[in-house]
Amino acid sequence: MIRWARERAELSIDELSKKLGVPQEKIIQWEEGISPISMGHAEDLAKLALIPFGVMFADNAPEVNLPIPDFRTREAEYITVPSPELLDTLNDAKEKQDWYREYLLSEGREPLPFIGKETIKTAPETMAKKILNILNLRSHWRQGNWQNVLSLLINKAEDAGIIVLLNGIVRTNTHRPLDIGEFRGFVLIDEIAPLIFINGQDAKSAQMFTLIHEIAHILLGQSALNDAEMNPRSNTNKYELYCNQVSAEFLTPREYFAQQWKNRLSIDENIDSLSKYFKVSRLVCVSRAFQLHYIDWTTRQTLWDKEMEEIRSRKKKQEGGNFHESQKFRTGRLVAQAVISEVRSNRMLFRDALHLLGFKSVKSLNSFSEIIGAMA
């Protein structure tokens, strides 16, 4: 159990030694059962591993299973054991979804008409048009900067009845960031209250791709955890490939892609221009250019590998921001508005509202209520 807890906390023996203030030899003895761990050190290790204290004295390590189908396609080290951050994020999303579902049922809400109505036999172009209609968007909907376009898509999805949560940390804990190497998003299917979660650590352009990818899963009626991996060298799941095609067609329609491709420009210049025009990543444009036969496979892979190398070497720019602005994406507008409505109607305790929305004080919740009220 000691080794399992240490590995769950993603700590080496040396790192754990420093955190607990004990010699490395002592930790090795604990793990090999030569000497027992003290109650105090067991409690400290349990906190580091984010597990109940009692688990430290179980005979066997608990089996950790994902509650939804795993459609991720990346390297094995990313997908063998789900992290505490992923599991806690899934549990938090499910708690919000369950509460909101009961709220909608109490309001007499009927099932949404588009859940699980399509199959992968539907042409990606047709599916993309269906999503466009569900979101009530016109063909030329890209206005403003990347954040404005992403906000538009999220608001339109929520207007259609889909809960959308966007967060880069576990609830409001800035010390527990989510790893895009582990997942980019997931969808929890429900005919009344479908939910999409987007990993906020990802780039805005990638978040847009994930959002449409997950909406495609909703139309297929599939709950799924995925990484929205666009590279066919690593992605062989037919449903993931299909949802990627739908997302690519939605964000970079064949007709408009052809209009924007300029033969007088180099391939790299075209990719850069298309990325800015469609508000998508260069990776999406590279993949799309290959799908539409503007570049061959060798060129695609050369550009793809070059872009991936640049992404890996690029340091993520940490941006500050308004807490309440971030919180409306973390909780989802639909859930937040419903919770605040219930509190104002004295049908929900402040204690329960604070827990569900992730606030620590009634004052913060009231300030947030003013923002959400203005959005209603």
What's the CA angle centered on 374, arms 372 and 376, to 5 degrees? 70
For the cut 70, the answer to whether the pLDDT of residue 321 exceeds it is no
Are 116 and 28 found together in one domain? no
Domain membership flag for residue 96 = yes
Are 267 and 230 found together in one domain? no
For the segment 73-84, the average pLDDT, to the nearest whole number, is: 63
What's the CA angle centered on 24, arms 18 and 28, to 5 degrees? 130
Mean per-residue pLDDT over the chain, rounded: 87
DSSP state of 195: E
Secondary structure (3-state) at 118: coil
DSSP state of 262: -
For the cut 90, the answer to whether the pLDDT of residue 233 exceeds it is no
Which run of H or of E encompasses 269?
helix 267-278
Note the pLDDT of residue 65. 76
Greater pLDDT, 143 or 133? 133
Q: Using 50, 70 and 90 to split pLDDT, how confident is the model at 308?
A: confident
Domain membership flag for residue 61 = no
Q: Which residues pair with 226 in a beta bridge?
A: 185
pTM: 0.84
Greater pLDDT, 72 or 92? 92
Are 84 and 180 found together in one domain? yes
For the cut 90, the answer to whether the pLDDT of residue 372 exceeds it is no
Contact predicate 182/83, CB 8 Å? yes
Are 99 and 150 found together in one domain? yes
Give residue-wise pLDDT tens across range 328-345.
788 999 999 999 999 999
Are 263 and 214 found together in one domain? no
For the segment 21-33, the average pLDDT, to the nearest whole number, is: 88
- CB-side exposure of 68: number of CA atoms within 13 Å? 26
Q: Using 50, 70 and 90 to split pLDDT, how confident is the model at 56?
A: confident
Are 273 and 190 found together in one domain? no
Which residue matches tokens 């973390």?
330
Domain membership flag for residue 65 = no
Domain membership flag for residue 104 = yes
Give the distance, in angstroms, between the CA of residue 361 and the centroid of all CA atoms in the same chain. 27
Task: Work out how many domains the chain is built from and give that number.
Answer: 4
Domain membership flag for residue 206 = yes
Note the pLDDT of residue 309. 83
Torsion of CA 83, 84, 86, 87, to 10 degrees: 120
For the segment 25-31, the average pLDDT, to the nearest whole number, is: 88
What distance in Å separates the CA atoms of residue 198 and residue 179, rounded to the nearest whole number? Answer: 12
Contact predicate 371/324, CB 8 Å? yes
Domain membership flag for residue 25 = yes
For the segment 144-149, the average pLDDT, to the nearest whole number, is: 84
What distance in Å separates the CA atoms of residue 282 and residue 205, rounded to the nearest whole number? Answer: 9
For the cut 60, the answer to whether the pLDDT of residue 324 exceeds it is no
Nearest one of 84, 26, 82 to 55, comparing CA atoms: 84
For the cut 70, the answer to whether the pLDDT of residue 231 exceeds it is no
Q: Using 50, 70 and 90 to split pLDDT, how confident is the model at 373?
A: low
Are 259 and 298 found together in one domain? yes
Note the pLDDT of residue 54. 79
Residue 183 tokens read as: 């997942």
Domain membership flag for residue 174 = yes
**Segments forming the whole domain that contains residue 307:** 252-313
Pairing of strands 163-167, 195-199: parallel
